[in-house]
A and B are shown apart, each in its own frame.
Chain A
Amino acid sequence: MNFFRRQRYLVDFTLSSLLRRKGKNLGLLLVYTLIVFMLASVMLFTHGLKQEIGKVLQASPEIILQRMEAGRHALISDAYLEKTGELRGVTERRGRLWGYFYDPAVKANYTMMVAEERNLLGTEVIIGNAIARTRGIGPGDYITFRSHDGETYSFIVKGLLDSGTEMFSADLILMSARAWRATFGVAEGWYTDIVLSVSNPREVANIAQKLSRRMPDTRPILKQELLRTYDAIFSWRQGILFVLLAGAIMAFVIFAWDKASGLSAEERREIGILKSIGWETSDVLQMKFWEGAILSLLAFLCGYLLAYLHVFYASATLFEPVLKGWAVLYPAFRLTPVVDGLQLATLFFFSVFPYTVATIIPIWQVAVTDPDAVMR
């Protein structure tokens, strides 16, 4: 109990000491908060994106089979679909129809896809939010495309895609199979690729191998690989940003060291007085570390909170370009707030730990002031 009471007294003195030197401490606090803010923003944003992608990919098929021609992705025929038939473990297989469409009006690429379950009429389309925004159209309006043979086709917008999936559907246009084949000039019996659903994840690699052997001119893309690659890319991008921020962290460490050792004569005198009236070196050390702890806690909380607001409510406006990539159509999405223990620990080790280590020696140097220094 005495231990806690003692800490209370030390904290009491520390707080009053901090408040007595508001100017200097506020400066340090600001820089500290900024560092935490930057690091936390990066981590929260990438983590949020990763979660988002993970969620969406969950619903995607386990294997996508694409035919390769001269090293490039080519259309795949019905015959291939039949060849995938007798494989055990495959619960569902179908051909997909999708392609890229360049719209010269807004200089953007759309992804046009067939979604049978939407039961669209030949003249109906469902478009993504970004397209709606860029073209300035909504449900009930008309949208026209030039087909592969120069014909102009008009479609009526039946609806917009759910904004919850905006990250992937922003530039998406859904249409009927007939409309799609007419637009792109792809005959019946040919598909863009084939998708297979596999119930047991451990079987996926085996099935992919068998597919490659049976149809050597195809390549299977596994959902597992996609998830892994995204995971790795986001980790890597995070890492790059951290390396770039290393300079900032170094500057912060030097700043912290400087602040801790650049005590004014007044501050040194105070420590000397404390030592002379009965405070021992370890008391002074503890008090000084409480100072660091209070500043760290404040900076960590404020920095993290600001980063949270920045990423999840202001869509990380400062970092978007680097982390998302480059395009014309940006989905306007709200990331689902996600906080994770590993994040917090890493953040702690990149901000509070360097700060503490930087200040240990300066704090010690002043704490070992001779008690009789004030008398000399």
Chain B
Amino acid sequence: MLLNPAIMALLLVSLVVVLMLTTAAGFAVQVLRHWDMGSGSELQLNLERRTYLISTLLTWSFAAELVSLLLFIYNAESMSGQFVGAMCATGVLNVNPWGWPALFVKIAVFFSAAVWLALNALDNQGYDYPLVRLKYFLLLPIVPLVISEAYLQLRHFIALQPDVITSCCGSLFSSTAQGVAAEVASLSPVMAAWGLYLSAAAVVLSGLFYLKRRRGSAPFSLIAIAAYLLAVVAVVSLISPYIYEHPHHHCPFCILKSGHGFAGYLLFIPLFGATALALSVGVIAPCARIPSLEAAVKSRGAALTRLSLGLFLLFYLLASWFLLNSSLVMQEVWW
């Protein structure tokens, strides 16, 4: 199983990222101990020189992680044909107990990476490296996260045995089974729809409020997280059946197939992007208190918010389009 090029690529990337991050962590500790902006000593000059390197390493690492999440899903989808009982990525992830944890940790790394990158980009706008200590301090918890991601991914890939019969999304996302996935799938579509559109309104309004008043970034981020969760729930319980035109097919991964026009990617990429951006806004907005960053926070905060809202709107429009354009008619049954 390990001899699949895509898997080898994913493992290579996660290994390299772990290496780069542990190097960065070592440096982070040095920075936290010795950084002194005012001093002109050689130690300080060396530290400053090295921040360029570490910054570059981390930017590349996190960018690679962002792509790696996408590749992981794409690969699981592609490989589903090699497993008995698997018809989509769900089946592949079900083959051993490491699949789902690997995915969830990867998603956590995705969001952490996006937020750190936003913070780093902001720091570069301040003439006195105002966020340096904060940045490298926040790096330290990300390192074990990345290491565990690499470990889980490795265990998952090693244990991918094609002769193990795996269960398909039908049994995981069915309304009668046990577990979180089933709970979500069996949620009433009406409630899911209410949740989706109410959170949509909330996120858009809070975003616009921040744009106008430059206050309320924390509520915006929190509402965005809620909107993200409700959106995922809605995809499972409400939107997927309409895309498949089958009231009991709830799998959020089968929509990634080409047969459904890659609808999954069209929905998830904007959603994930929007949430990551909204989280970034929540993190950088408090930095407006720092004098050297005030102007940068103003302009960047606005740009990020606008982009986030744009992507959220794209998601909601697409979701609605899928609902309205489907041949599935559930009048009287659901509505």
Contacts and interface: CB of A to CB of B under 8 A. Distances in A.
Chains A and B touch each other in the complex, with CB atoms below 8 Å apart: yes
Interface of A: 43, 224-225, 227-228, 231-232, 235-236, 238-240, 242-243, 281-282, 285, 341-342, 345-346, 349-350, 353-354, 356-357, 360-361, 364, 367-368
B162 A360 contact: no
Contacts of A238: 3-5
Contacts of A361: 53
7 contacts: A238-B3, A242-B5, A243-B8, A285-B56, A342-B6, A350-B5, A367-B52
Interface stretch (B75-83, B175-183, B327-335): B75-83
Contacts of A231: 81-82
> Chain A: interface secondary structure?
helix
A292 to B, nearest CB: 11
B35 interface: no
Contact of B8 (A224, A242, A341, A368): A242
Interface in B52-96: 52-53, 56-57, 60, 64, 67, 70-71, 74-75, 78-79, 81-84
Nearest to A205: B84
B4 A342 contact: no
Interface residues of B, number: 33
Interface of B: 2-10, 12-13, 16, 20, 49, 52-53, 56-57, 60, 64, 67, 70-71, 74-75, 78-79, 81-84, 124, 162
Contact of B3 (A239, A281, A345): A239
A224 B86 CA distance: 11
B53 A360 contact: yes
B3 A235 contact: yes
Contacts of A356: 60
B74 A342 contact: yes
B52 A235 contact: no
Contacts of B75: 342
A193 B149 CA distance: 49
Contact of B74 (A240, A242, A341, A349): A341
Query: What 3 pairs across the A-B complex have the smallest Cβ distances?
Result: A239-B3, A349-B9, A364-B53
A228 B60 contact: no
A365 to B, nearest CB: 8
Nearest to A232: B82
Contacts of B162: 228, 232
A190 to B, nearest CB: 33
B52 A285 contact: yes
Contacts of A235: 3-5, 79, 82
Contacts of B13: 349, 353
A368 B46 CA distance: 10
Nearest to B61: A357
A361 B82 CA distance: 40
Nearest to B75: A342
Contacts of A354: 12
A353 B13 CA distance: 8
